[in-house]
Amino acid sequence: MIVGIDLGTTNSLIAVWEDGAARLIPNSLGEVLTPSCVSVDEDGSILVGRAARERLQTHPQHSAANFKRLMGSDKTLFLGKRAFRPEELSALVLRSLKEDAEAALGRPVEEAVITVPAYFSDAQRKATRAAGQLAGLKVERLLNEPTAAALAYGIHLREGESKFLVFDLGGGTFDVSVLDLFDGVMEVRASAGDNHLGGEDFVTVLVERFFETSKAPAALRHDAAFMQRLVAQAELAKRALSDSPRAEIIAGDGRQDYRMELDEAALEKACALLLARLRSPVERALRDASLPLAELDNIVLAGGATRMPIVRRMAARMFGRFPSCEINPDEVVALGAAVQAGLKMRDAALDEVVMTDVAPYSLGVSTTVRIGGDHFSHGHFDPIIERNTVVPVSRVKRYFPIRDDQQIIELVVYQGEARMASDNIKLGQLEVRLPSGVEDRGVDVRFTYDVNGLLQVEATVVSTKEVHSLVIEGNPGLLSEQEIAQRFVALSELKIHPRDRIENRTLLARAERLYQHLRGMPREQLGREITGFETALESQDQRVIVPAAKSFRDVVDYFDHQSFLLPDA
Ligand code: ADP
Ligand code: MG
């Protein structure tokens, strides 16, 4: 059994291919979206998902989110005293999803297709693979998120050629990809985006607008509890406006309530700058793919933030037509990963598709350029494989020594788009010794880049056919196989919060967050309820816990809805 996983910056999901269709698997809370958050509890046990997201507010020093952005780097995050690498935090999310799937399917889950952004570099892809291994999963394949979205829409089943664009606006990232399906081969022709544009930015705009219009004193910006409450209210209002024409944000400081009413037109106006920023990545992707807008057969929406009608309208205006949005945009990538898992399991109906990806950066060597006479300019970057070239790809270029007596050609391999090599990322280097006294002093440099992001450099001395080669996969920021094995053991020894108690733990985390928001009598009341529920949990008797949880949930729901309205006692 191979599962499909969308390991997102904000939310992660797991899906399976079953009876000819992809199906999402809910977590222990019955939700298909698991927030990509990890937290360490007071007793040192690990919490993943919603409980961890709640604790991000109450216990920021013990919680982490957004670590997908750090994948491929060797940055360390501290949760309490314990240090984690981004791969390890991702692994904890993956492991939690794996356990949810095992519980739902009643059998072990050991293999997975995991999605990654199309622009993910070699190092980021390897880190994602490592995260899978650390979670005890064999990563069957990494799949580009836009390709997954296309698969969910069944675009691979179409006859003839099909060109389309995937417009993915998630929590904090915006990705545009142009894909081409031809002869049963799917290609990512181009990808562009904005790494710092997503649903969260719309919330920030609402918070700013709240301070402008509600008369809430600016000093409240420094009241952390107030700000948390306001951000939560703004998030709810943003979502409410996806379904209804108006919404209200109410946040109080205990003495007074401040309000802001808004409708879709006001949201659109307030977010005009954000909406405008959606345009240039789309234009860049189409330009890189050398594809006029009119030739697109389809526009596919992905990412939770494309649920916003103002975003959909902006997209429709940009493209001059309505995008496909029949599948929930925050679920489409995971469903597509499961379709790919189905293909992998050789489901006869679908296995004709061969997937291809693109090189996310240009790959090349540093060269010296003659600028007239005996004058040279060194350190120019000369791309051999251009960015957005479909992989696997193999390209060759011939280079010559600049001096007749030169005995060595130093090939320094770089990745990037800058004109000067030193402004790009150095990947490795290869020394090629030149024979003297021969006519042809050229060296053929072949770059072969594969689906797994492995770069093979092969330098052939033209006259002697002597071959020097270099395989680039090592990255200083990446874990070696041996380190992965060691960390796998260490991670396996971590205490994970028991699955069957996650629901109650999440409820408790939510209550603790509310407790921080409240003041006076309501706070005291909730405090007593929390202690009461903790006592019930300690009894370890389901006959006590189940009814206690039910009534505690009602209390927490009540405070959650009322928290911003309750006055000080
Ligand atoms: P990621 O790909 O970053 O993991 P998602 O695709 O899950 O994230 O998108 C998360 C974003 O979608 C959040 O900013 C969230 O506020 C937003 N979102 C989810 N549902 C809605 C909705 N109904 N209306 C508006 N925004 C939404
Ligand atoms: Mg996503």
Backbone angles phi, psi at 498, to 5 degrees: -60, 135
Expressed in angstroms, the distance from the first to the final Cα of the chain is: 57
**Higher pLDDT among residues 189 and 112, named by residue:** 112
CA 289/CA 179 separation, integer angstroms: 9
Report how far residue 111's alpha carbon sits from residue 20's, in angstroms, rounded to the nearest whole number.
Answer: 19
Q: Which two tokens stand for residue 332?
A: 């489409």
DSSP-assigned states of every residue in 143-172 = EEHHHHHHHHTTGGG-SS-EEEEEEEE-SS
Q: Give, in order, the Cα–Cα distances in Å from 409 to each of 32, 362, 400, 540.
A: 55, 21, 8, 72
Determine the 3-state secondary structure of 268 from DSSP: helix
The winner for highest mean pLDDT among 129-133, 224-228, 360-364 is 129-133
pTM above 0.85, yes or no: no
Contact between residue 178 and residue 285 where contact means Cβ atoms under 8 Å apart = yes
Element (H, E) at 532: helix 520-538
**CA–CA gap between residue 487 and residue 480 (Å, rounded):** 10
Residue 200 Cα to chain centre, angstroms: 14
pLDDT at 190: 84
Q: Is 9 in the pocket of ligand 1 (CB under 6 A)?
A: yes
- Say whether 456 sits in a helix, a strand or coil: strand
> Taking 70 as the threshold, does the pLDDT of residue 566 lie above it?
no
- To which residue do tokens 């004058």 refer? 375
Alpha-carbon dihedral 487, 100, 170, 351, rounded to 10 degrees: 90
pLDDT at 181: 84
pLDDT tens for each residue of 264-280: 999 999 999 999 999 99
Residue 352 structure tokens = 């004709």
Cβ of 171 less than 6 Å from ligand 1: yes
Task: Choose the residue to mutate in 36, 94, 241, 307 for probing ligand 1, maximizing ligand atoms within 8 Å of C-beta.
Answer: 307
Question: Ligand 1: which atom is nearest the Cα of residue 173?
Answer: 3
pLDDT class of 564 with cuts at 50, 70, 90: low
State in Å: Cα 239 to ligand 1 middle: 9
pLDDT attached to residue 347: 55
Q: What percent of the chain has pLDDT over 70?
A: 95
- Ligand 1 within 6 A of CB of 193: no
CA of 241, closest atom in ligand 1: 24
Ligand nearest to the CA of 172: 1
Amino acid at 512: E
| Longest CA pairwise span in the chain (Å) | 95
Assign 72 a pLDDT band (cuts: 50, 70, 90).
confident
**C-beta atoms surrounding 134 within 10 Å:** 25
pLDDT at 155: 86
Backbone angles phi, psi at 40, to 5 degrees: -105, 125
pLDDT in tens, 300-337: 999 999 999 999 999 999 999 999 999 999 999 999 99
Ligand 1 atom closest to the CA of 239, numbered from 1:
24
Q: Ligand 1, closest atom to CA 200?
A: 14
With a cut of 60, say whether residue 475 has pLDDT above it: no
Q: What is the pLDDT of residue 257?
A: 87
Please check whether residue 3 is in contact with residue 344, taking contact to mean a CB–CB distance below 8 angstroms: no
Return the residue matching tokens 């306001």: 230
How many C-alpha atoms does 114 have within 13 Å on its Cβ side? Answer: 32
SS3 state of residue 210: helix
Q: Is residue 307 in contact with ligand 1, taking CB distance under 6 Å? A: yes
Residue 73 pLDDT greater than 60, yes or no? yes
Worst-scoring range by mean pLDDT, 22-26, 93-97, 101-105, 187-191? Answer: 187-191
* Ligand sitting nearest the alpha carbon of 306: 1
Using CA positions, which residue lies closest to atom 19 of ligand 1?
Answer: 304
Ligand 1 midpoint to CA 8 (Å): 11
CA–centroid distance, 7 to ligand 2, in Å, is 8
Atom of ligand 1 nearest to the CA of 302: 6
Selected residue with higher pLDDT from 271 and 519 = 271
Regarding the beta carbon of 200 and ligand 1, being less than 6 Å apart is answered yes
Q: Does the C-beta of 254 come closer than 6 Å to ligand 1?
A: no
The amino acid at 521:
M
- The structure tokens listed for 49 are 């998902």
Ligand 2 centroid, distance to 40 Cα (angstroms): 25
Q: How far does residue 278's CA lie from ligand 2's centre (Å)? A: 16
Question: Which residue's CA is the closest to the ligand 1 atom numbered 18?
Answer: 304
Q: How far is the CA of 557 from the centre of ligand 1 (A)?
A: 22
Residues assigned a catalytic role: 6, 68, 145, 168
Quote the strand ranges of 331-442, DSSP E. Answer: 354-355, 357-358, 363-370, 376-385, 390-391, 393-399, 408-415, 425-433
Q: How far apart are CA 412 and CA 430, in angstroms?
A: 6
Do the beta carbons of residue 357 and residue 391 sit within 8 Å? yes
Dihedral of the alpha carbons of 99, 101, 104, 110, in degrees to the nearest 10 = -90
To test the pocket of ligand 1, the residue of 238, 262, 267 to mutate (highest count of ligand atoms within 8 Å of its CB) is: 238
Q: Closest ligand 1 atom, CA of 303?
A: 6
Q: How far apart are CA 503 and CA 31, in angstroms?
A: 11
- Protein residue whose Cα sits closest to atom 2 of ligand 1: 170
For the cut 60, the answer to whether the pLDDT of residue 545 exceeds it is yes
Q: Which residues neighbour 111 within 8 Å (Cβ) at sequence distance 6 or greater?
A: 1, 2, 3, 137, 138, 139, 140, 341
Ligand 2 centroid–CA 301 distance in Å is: 11
